Amino acid sequence: MDFQNIFEEFKQAIQKKLHKNTYRIYFRDIAIFINFLKDYELNEINKTTIDNFKSYILELRNEDGFYFLPGKVLQIFNDTKLFLKWLKEKNILSENIPTQKNKDFYNEAVRNYNKRKFKLIDANAGTYSNDEVLTAFKAHIEKYLNTLWKKKYFKRTLFQLKEYSEKSNKPIIELTEPDLSLMIKNWCSIEIYPSMPIVENTLTHMYFILRLFFRFLNEEGFRKDNPILKWTEKDYRQKVSLILKTNKESKIKSRYYSVKEILTAYKKYLVKTCNNFCDIYSYYKHLKGFIRFIVSKNKTIYTTDEQTISEYKIYLLNYEYEPKKYYTAFYQADKLRCIKRFYDWFTNEGYSLQHPLKAYGITEYQKSIENICKEKNCIRESNLDLPENYRRIYEGATAYEKTINLNIKTIKTHERGWKFFFYWLNQTGIENIKEVDEQVLNDFQVYVLNYKSSDGKVLSLVSRIRHLIAVKRLFQYLSRFKYLNHDPSFCIKLPKHARGLPTNGMNHREVKKLLSLPLEETAKTIRDRALIETLYSTGVRRNELRNLKINDIDFTGGLLRVNVPKGGINFQRVIPIGKTACNRIQKYISEVRSRQKNVIKNEYLFLTKDGNQMSGGNILNIVKTWITKANLKKRLGTHSFRVSCATEMLKGKADIKFVQQQLGHTEIASTEKYLRLVPMDLKRVHSKTHPLERKNKNE
């Protein structure tokens, strides 16, 4: 008869008589005995077999890789005796098997355990460095608990232990129980990330790892005692909970702060702790949206509770950012994550003890609303959806623009304008393009002027012009290929677009401040510094920069070839690039780019961390991050370096035609607008001729 089948029959017979927890321990112990019997036949179970089993469990290790303690060895032995008794009752065994008394066997187990331990202590006697004991423990864990070693909190616990040991000038093997109690108290002040204090569950995980570690040191002979042997999980949790509560209460601020004061402080915290402008922008934007919501509910940041959060969740679920368009499950969950980050900071800094999102988990919440969001978004209709009766014209116009090799961005802009126009025609009941005349186009021009999105925003002047240009191009196509007898779009007059001053630029002092930021030199900062130096030195556009290839730079001659300029290949140019920028780029290529993925396949100069070509958004994010870190108060972006390059050249008395060539302007008028940013001659004349200026000079 198979032992496994006997065991299953035994489990069914005993299961109902035992408590759930007792049942698990009981059968786990007997499973050890069944595993031992795999090389035996049923008729071979006798006193000798049981003696062999006793010797087996005395040297057996548990799932953590430690020898069973004497008490556990006795428990396994007793559970095995109950199983043997059941076998006899079922007549599976023909006779009772005599076994050793519990007391005698327990004493034997104690003697065996101590003998082995002291033997290891003698063998491992000596002083060990922290690295030596940690390496030995790592080998033990990799052998018995390999999955545990991969956990972040496991490595973090050992790192914190080593750090505390070094700060206290005591090797790990000499740390005492008071030392470790003080260490735990210090751990209660750790921040997982800035203003996110460590939580009780994390500290409990760390306790279990400490318990494993010091038991290993004791059993393997690295130290004679286990300093945390008497620590229990219950006492530890109570102690940690009290310390965390005391830490929190000691930070409480003495007064209430206005929303403006709180937002200012929070923004400074984000700038200091976030390494990415997109993160700063996202956290701040979502918080401001949340504040608008709670104000509508007559709540404040201080009085927001779990009920308010529940109402906000419902609001997000039902919010239409466009007609019948709803947020995705991930976007909603991420919004709440940003709010949680704020309250982590808010409570940690002592503004309040109230944390309405303390138990929030982004993954769990996202899964809980995924099906609801899918159902909502499956039935949505968008004002960008293309009416079927105009699809053929839309596809024909798109195909035509591709054949004449228009820039892909231009085609996309026209497509958006056409969808917008066709949607309006459908809404007004015009289902045939031949019904469109000058009056209809005039009505459309008025519609574009007065159009408002779902959140009440009107179209910008540039968007209006783009939509109208798209319509004009559409009717040029239709009349050219005889879909229409004449072109009614001649009546469309584009809104006047005044040329104001260009985007804000930076003076040389501000750029120098930006480039001298004391950031740690990592692969990312080396790349970013080279990228910003290139922007400032050459004044290239963002899209021109992302399309630069390594072979486009002549490092010896200090020249750069712009192969993908605005306007197409007819406007390719070769321009100077400064020596400093060249040095930065060469450092980036040799120290960073050469070690990246896809580097052989990818010719582009600036790559993402995954070895892919950068997008325009990647470049803008880098620039905005550095500008934010440098605390430059102006509204600046990628184009600001182009403006700075032009204005600094003009200040240095560069001829405007050379500046035009550097920037790649087709018309001198485009370059002349930069002259308005450099009124140096006007300033000199003003200081010489204005009476107040002359008076000040004389004084």
Q: Tens digit of pLDDT for each residue in 603-621?
A: 899 999 888 999 999 999 9
- State the pLDDT at residue 694: 55
Homologous superfamily, domain 508-682 = Intergrase catalytic core (1.10.443.10)
pLDDT interval class at 340 (50, 70, 90): very high
pLDDT interval class at 294 (50, 70, 90): very high
Q: Are 30 and 83 in contact, with CB atoms under 8 Å apart?
A: yes
Residue 387 has pLDDT above 90, yes or no: no
Report the pLDDT averaged over residues 544-558.
93
Say which DSSP state 545 is in.
H
Report the pLDDT averaged over residues 448-475.
87
pLDDT interval class at 380 (50, 70, 90): very low
| Total residues belonging to the chain | 699
Higher pLDDT, 608 or 249: 608
Helix (H), strand (E), coil (C) string for 198-244 = CCHHHHHHHHHHHHHHHHHHHHCCCCCCCCCCCCCHHHHHHHHHHHH
Residue 578 has pLDDT above 70, yes or no: yes
- State the pLDDT at residue 502: 65
What SS3 state is found at 257? coil
- State the pLDDT at residue 545: 95
Report the pLDDT averaged over residues 355-377.
89
Q: Is residue 618 within a helix (H) or strand (E), and if so which, with residue range?
A: helix 616-629
Least confident of 55-64, 114-123, 432-441: 114-123
> pTM for this structure?
0.65
- State the pLDDT at residue 20: 64
The CB density around residue 127, as the number of other CB atoms within 10 Å, is: 8
Homologous superfamily, domain 388-491 = Tyrosine recombinase, N-terminal domain (1.10.150.130)
What SS3 state is found at 325? strand
Report the pLDDT averaged over residues 565-587.
89
Q: What is the residue-averaged pLDDT of the chain?
A: 86
Helices vs strands, H then E, count in the chain: 30, 7
Report the pLDDT averaged over residues 648-659.
87
pLDDT tens-place string over residues 88-122 = 887 877 777 767 678 888 888 889 888 888 888 77
pLDDT interval class at 364 (50, 70, 90): very high
pLDDT interval class at 381 (50, 70, 90): very low
Higher pLDDT, 357 or 458: 357
Higher pLDDT, 308 or 452: 308
- State the pLDDT at residue 697: 56
pLDDT interval class at 388 (50, 70, 90): confident
C-alpha span between 517 and 524 (Å, rounded): 14
Residue 382 has pLDDT above 60, yes or no: no
Higher pLDDT, 426 or 3: 426
- State the pLDDT at residue 405: 83
pLDDT interval class at 183 (50, 70, 90): very high
- State the pLDDT at residue 673: 80
Return the CATH fold of 3-123: DNA polymerase; domain 1 (1.10.150)
Residue carrying the six token digits 């077999």: 49
Residue 212's nearest CA partner among 62, 112, 76 is: 62
pLDDT interval class at 292 (50, 70, 90): very high
pLDDT interval class at 222 (50, 70, 90): confident
Q: Are 26 and 14 in contact, with CB atoms under 8 Å apart?
A: yes
- State the pLDDT at residue 104: 86
Least confident of 179-188, 372-381, 667-676: 372-381
- State the pLDDT at residue 414: 94
C-alpha span between 29 and 11 (Å, rounded): 12
Least confident of 40-44, 131-135, 280-284, 662-666: 40-44
C-alpha span between 93 and 97 (Å, rounded): 9
Per-residue tokens: 381: 């209709």
